Amino acid sequence: GAVVSQHPSWVICKSGTSVKIECRSLDFQATTMFWYRQFPKQSLMLMATSNEGSKATYEQGVEKDKFLINHASLTLSTLTVTSAHPEDSSFYICSARADSSNQPQHFGDGTRLSIL
Amino acid sequence: KQEVTQIPAALSVPEGENLVLNCSFTDSAIYNLQWFRQDPGKGLTSLLLIQSSQREQTSGRLNASLDKSSGRSTLYIAASQPGDSATYLCAVRDGNKLVFGAGTILRVKS
């Protein structure tokens, strides 16, 4: 089945550091990729949607200068958390979907980000 | 605005029982509906995808139904096993986005 690889799975870093998370679709071309954030014991919160080669569309309340998204190819999207602070600590999950209205979304295993 | 509700919020059953998880959504204009499981600290694993024109999908011990007109879906798990313990999430594709329910935490006791 379709696989989405997310890396790294766990990051611990100091406040003020920028952190990049990669999301790759391994066996299909992902026209659309999504980035979610999940707080403990809560469901997923969509942060932004990106289409290959165009700017990401951010959800209301998500700072686009804080969370930089690049979807440079049909198999790779990156999320960079710039100048991270403790309140950015969370579980970030990427998702990818091939282009078609009837295709499922596939999810990565998530990245646990801890800012000290 | 699409809203997805899952009932119950948590469920604990003995091994071997058949069980039903419920999902309801407010706007029937959906492309499809997906059921996922999430293990602690992990991402989501897609279990079943039902297109808006379909009534049900089956995979092994799992069967998902969809009644689009009433805004309801159920996930039936037969002969539950301890390995089925996880959080089960229902999501509807509304436009370009998935709208998630809050999930059902399932615990299957051995």
Distance separating alpha carbons of residues A3 and A95, to the nearest angstrom: 10
Tell me what percent of the residues of chain A surpass a pLDDT of 70.
Answer: 97
Mean of the per-residue pLDDT values for chain A? 92
pLDDT score of A48: 95
Write the DSSP string, chain A: ---EEEE-SEEEE-TT--EEEEEEESSS--SEEEEEEE-TTS-EEEEEEEETTSPPEEPTT--TTTEEEEEEETTEEEEEETT--GGG-EEEEEEEE-SSTTPPPEE---EEEEE-
User: In terms of pLDDT, which residue wins out, B83 or B96?
Assistant: B83
Q: Is the pLDDT of residue A2 over 80?
A: no
Nearest to B72 by CA among B85, B56, B48: B56
Span between the terminal Cα atoms of chain A, in Å = 37
Give the strand pairing for B104-109 and B10-14: parallel
Q: Output the pLDDT for position A43.
A: 87
Cβ-defined contact of B46 to A106 (cutoff 8 Å):
yes
- B37-92 pLDDT, tens digit per residue, is 999 989 999 999 999 999 999 999 999 999 999 999 999 999 999 999 999 999 99
How far apart are the CA of A16 and the nearest CA of chain B, in angstroms?
25
3-state secondary structure of B66: strand
Picking from A44, A71, A95, A103 by the largest number of B CB atoms within 10 A of its own CB, the best residue to mutate is A44
Distance CA B16, CA B41 (A): 26
On whether any CB of chain B is under 8 Å from the CB of A11, the answer is no
